[in-house]
Chain A
Amino acid sequence: MENKMETRKLSVYYKNFQALYSVDLPIQKNAVTALIGPSGCGKSTFLRALNRMNEVIEGTRVEGEVLLDGKNIYDPRVDPVALRKKVGMVFQKPNPFPMSIFDNVAYGPRIHGIKKKTDLEQIVHKSLAAAALWDEVKDRLYKSALGLSGGQQQRLVIARVLAVEPEVILMDEPASALDPISTAKLEDLIHQLKQNYTIVIVTHNMQQAARVSDYTGFFLNGELIEYNTTTAIFTAPREKRTEDYITGRFG
């Protein structure tokens, strides 16, 4: 297996608070890596460090390296805007823009310079189809995205990310605001997407991590406690704390 991304001694600080302590974690190509752990353990911080979205918050500081295809994304020569085109992100709460479904998906391609209507239509179609949403919205592409259900909105947001053709997709608890049926659809989608994309997903839900991921990292108090294949983590954890967490003894 090949590492698409890798962190080396990654520490993240918010002003004086250290949120992550020297994390080394590989992210395999075309696989789903799940990050689990109790609230405040640093898993979301870790995720946001992978496409430099933590920089949006004032007072954040990063030490160590994050490699994407072997190159450090925190190198001063790297443009965070270009990086985020390669490493897309899906947020906890579905956040479609207050515009039509079409314009939502076309937003990324448009800012990256695609203007031709037929090209945009093609991208929108392809992305919505890949996000398993095309059949549900094809008759209302020009209606507001805010009229969709929560589950549809989350798949729309994924289509919007797919439209800029990223290589890695980061998902921050993407199903936490969804009902069970929408969650199941989303998990199916994640399964399909990993054939073409590398996926990192933060989740609170252990069953979800077990269902969708190939590798799992367990975080606690800003440290990576254990990383292994998902099967190994859930059947034979090496660390006592991992076992306690996945068996529900705390968290």
Chain B
Amino acid sequence: MDKGLAGIYENLVKYLLGIVAVTSVLILLLIFYFLIREGAGLFSHVSLPGFIFGTEWLPDAEPPRFGALPLITGSLVVTTGAGIIAISIGIGIAVFLAEVAPRSVREVAKAVIELLAGIPSVVYGFLGLTVLAPLIKDMLNLPSALCAFTASIVLGIMALPTVVSISEDALDAVPREYREASLALGATKWETTWRIVVPSARSGLLAASMLGLGRAIGETMAVLMVAGNATLIPHSIFDPVRTITADIAAEMGETVHGGLHYQALFGLGIVLFSITFFINMVTDIVFARTSSKRGAS
């Protein structure tokens, strides 16, 4: 290829990749625009604070009331519970697989855990409904086990494969030189794992946690089946809750296109979008701060 042609080729590749990058940002902006366009009409009936802090969600009442606080708390409670379960157990499993387990065990276990990620969420919901909920009901002697607690467990298990898989990759990527240096200084295996390997992999572990949380907060089907779906602000983790996603899925079919209820559901979409956006931004900031402090290259 002569120089002129090579130059054209270089530029072509550059522009193509540029277009792809711009497109993904554009799609994101369009989604946000669409959500706002469809949901904006709501705010001529309900004020923004009234929507976010309103405690009554009664779309069928006369006049309808759209206070999203029960749904927002529902989502936050369930996601927090799921996050605690998925992140603590998930990172624990990843540490075991990467640092303790023999190679053969690691490979089989990792394949199986990644397979878990492929199970459709409705199946998790079904298992939660028919197996886990009765079990919890009997064990804790509850009137009904369809509550935030059960939903958190189901969601936690669903988010587990993501957390384990990415955490294990991050731990595995810690250079062998670090481990050897630590061992050669007379550190035990355990000290090496907790003081060197885990801190060195922290950015990957953080990413794994955030993706796990993202999976939990966006999950709809399973949580709709096991959370109990009461639009009330929960007083304990054993109260039934309804999440933002479950509410949208459950009610979208009953709405009139462009009607007030329809707009309210889009309003919920905006809230959900903002929450995930906020989580991502906080992660980015925390990430940037820790890596500049440590000067990781």
B178: contacting residue among A58, A82, A95, A164, CB under 8 A? A95
Task: Across the interface, name the chain A residue whose C-beta is closest to B177.
Answer: A95
Chain A residues whose C-beta falls within 8 Å of the C-beta of B199 in the assembled complex: 98-99
Contact B183 A84 (CB under 8 A): yes
Determine if A88 is an interface residue (Cβ-Cβ < 8 Å).
yes
Contact B180 A146 (CB under 8 A): no
Task: Across the interface, name the chain B residue whose C-beta is closest to A93.
Answer: B177
Per-position contact with A for B140-178: 1 when CB-CB < 8 Å, else 0? 000000000000000000000000000000000001011
Contact A88 B181 (CB under 8 A): no
Task: Across the interface, name the chain A residue whose C-beta is closest to B175.
Answer: A95
Determine if A160 is an interface residue (Cβ-Cβ < 8 Å).
yes
Contact B187 A88 (CB under 8 A): no
CB distance from A45 to the nearest CB of B (A): 14
Task: Across the interface, name the chain B residue whose C-beta is closest to A95.
Answer: B177
Task: Across the interface, name the chain A residue whose C-beta is closest to B296.
Answer: A98
Contact B195 A98 (CB under 8 A): no
Determine if B191 is an interface residue (Cβ-Cβ < 8 Å).
yes
Chain B residues whose C-beta falls within 8 Å of the C-beta of A161 in the assembled complex: 184-185
A84: contacting residue among B186, B293, B294, B296, CB under 8 A? B186
Contact A88 B177 (CB under 8 A): no
CB distance from A172 to the nearest CB of B (A): 10
Chain B residues whose C-beta falls within 8 Å of the C-beta of A51 in the assembled complex: 184
Determine if B188 is an interface residue (Cβ-Cβ < 8 Å).
yes
Q: Report the stretch among A29-37, A61-69, A105-113, A238-246 that lies at the interface.
A: A105-113
Contact A99 B294 (CB under 8 A): yes
Compute the total of residue contacts between A and B using a CB distance below 8 Å.
Answer: 78
Chain A residues whose C-beta falls within 8 Å of the C-beta of B296 in the assembled complex: 98, 144, 146
* A97-B183 contact, Cβ under 8 Å, with A81-B188, A144-B294, A146-B297: no
Determine if A184 is an interface residue (Cβ-Cβ < 8 Å).
no
CB distance from B296 to the nearest CB of A (A): 5
A56: contacting residue among B175, B180, B191, CB under 8 A? B180
Give complex CA distance A89, B177 in Å.
Answer: 12
Contact B294 A85 (CB under 8 A): no
Determine if A157 is an interface residue (Cβ-Cβ < 8 Å).
yes
Determine if A40 is an interface residue (Cβ-Cβ < 8 Å).
no
Chain A residues whose C-beta falls within 8 Å of the C-beta of B297 in the assembled complex: 146
B191: contacting residue among A53, A58, A98, A111, CB under 8 A? A111
Contact B196 A81 (CB under 8 A): no
Contact A53 B184 (CB under 8 A): yes
Determine if A147 is an interface residue (Cβ-Cβ < 8 Å).
yes
Give complex CA distance A160, B188 in Å.
Answer: 16
Chain B residues whose C-beta falls within 8 Å of the C-beta of A164 in the assembled complex: 185-186
Task: Across the interface, name the chain B residue whose C-beta is closest to A86.
Answer: B186
Chain B residues whose C-beta falls within 8 Å of the C-beta of A146 in the assembled complex: 294-297
Task: Across the interface, name the chain B residue whose C-beta is closest to A163.
Answer: B185
Determine if A91 is an interface residue (Cβ-Cβ < 8 Å).
yes
Chain A residues whose C-beta falls within 8 Å of the C-beta of B103 in the assembled complex: 58
What residues make up the interface of B, taking CB atoms closer than 8 Å to A?
103, 175, 177-188, 191, 195-196, 199-200, 293-297
Q: List 9 A-B contacts (CB under 8 A).
A: A84-B184, A91-B181, A95-B180, A98-B178, A98-B294, A100-B294, A108-B187, A160-B185, A164-B186
Which 6 pairs show the lowest CB-CB distances between chains A and B? A144-B295, A85-B186, A95-B177, A89-B184, A108-B185, A84-B186
